[in-house]
Structures are given as structure tokens and as C-alpha cells.
């Protein structure tokens, strides 16, 4: 069987036996650097599976030998951010405004929500009026005159 293999003259490489539209495939091995890179990525993947949580299970993933988890990292980052913002948040929550009627304390969040809602209601009411006035001005109708 080895005797019936054809050899390509210019390259000295044997043909595989596949042919498509007159083009035949040569039996060339993969470059060594490519094979070494493939083997390195396989080893890297195995090391990562051992060190970090990687394989999904029914109630979570394999823990890994380092004990790292994305939830643990998130908790650490959030607690660091909370401790960084604590003085500002404490000052904001402590700051109260007294309403003129009844001296009821009003939180900053209440005021912000009230202003936002009032603004949005105002836009909702005023937009059709402005659009109507604009359309009537473009049509040349004009506004009806007030009679006294």
C-alpha cells in the first residue's frame, strides 16, 4: 500500500488521494510551532480547570483549588466601594429638609422623586399643547382671539 502513493515532484510530498476539480491535496504535516501552541493551550486549559471554578454541576460549579469565585470578588469590590462612599451617603441621608407645614422631615430622595415626577407630568401635559400651537401656526390658522 505504501508503494502506490504518488509523490509530488516539486515538493517531494505524497498526495492524500483527495481530488476536487483537478486539485489534489498534499499530505503535509502541521508546522511545529502550531502544534506546540496547540499543546500549550491544552495544558493551560487543564490548569485553569483545576485552579478556578469551571465545570458546571447541579448546584453550582466545581470550586477550584484557589477558592476564587466571581460572587466573592463582587462582594469584596462592593464592600470596598460602600466603605469608600460611606461618608457621603451618611451625610446625604442625615440631611433633611423641613416642610413648611407640620415640620415633617422630607428626605432628599422624596424631593428628587417629586421634582422628576412633576417635570414629567408637565412635559406630558405641555407637549400636546405646544404641538397643537405649532401645527396651527404652520397651517396659518392662528389662535382664537379672546373675547371679553
Query: Does a structural domain hold residue 36?
Result: no
Read off the pLDDT of each residue in 103-115 and give the average, rounded to a whole number: 63
Task: Note whether residue 82 is domain-resident.
Answer: yes
| Selected residue with higher pLDDT from 31 and 114 | 31
112 within domain boundaries: yes
* Host domain of residue 77: 70-139
Which three three-digit cell numbers place residue 119?
417635570
Q: Quote the cell numbers at residue 47.
A: 490548569
pLDDT tens-digit readout, 25-66: 888 888 999 999 999 999 999 999 999 988 888 887 788 889
Q: Look at the chain and report how many structural domains it folds into.
A: 2
Amino acid at each position: 500500500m505504501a508503494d502506490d502513493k504518488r509523490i509530488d515532484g516539486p515538493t517531494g510530498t505524497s498526495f492524500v488521494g483527495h481530488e476536487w476539480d483537478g486539485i489534489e491535496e498534499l499530505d503535509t504535516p502541521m508546522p511545529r510551532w502550531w502544534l506546540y501552541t496547540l499543546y500549550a493551550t491544552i495544558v493551560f486549559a487543564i490548569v485553569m480547570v483545576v485552579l478556578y471554578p469551571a465545570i458546571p454541576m447541579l448546584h453550582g460549579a466545581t470550586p477550584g483549588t484557589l477558592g476564587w469565585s466571581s460572587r466573592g470578588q463582587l462582594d469584596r469590590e462592593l464592600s470596598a466601594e460602600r466603605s469608600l462612599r460611606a461618608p457621603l451617603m451618611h451625610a446625604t441621608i442625615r440631611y433633611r429638609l423641613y416642610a413648611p407645614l407640620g415640620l415633617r422631615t422630607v428626605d432628599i430622595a422624596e424631593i428628587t422623586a417629586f421634582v422628576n415626577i412633576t417635570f414629567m407630568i408637565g412635559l406630558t401635559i405641555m407637549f400636546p399643547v405646544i404641538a397643537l400651537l405649532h401645527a396651527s401656526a404652520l397651517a396659518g390658522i392662528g389662535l382664537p382671539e379672546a373675547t371679553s
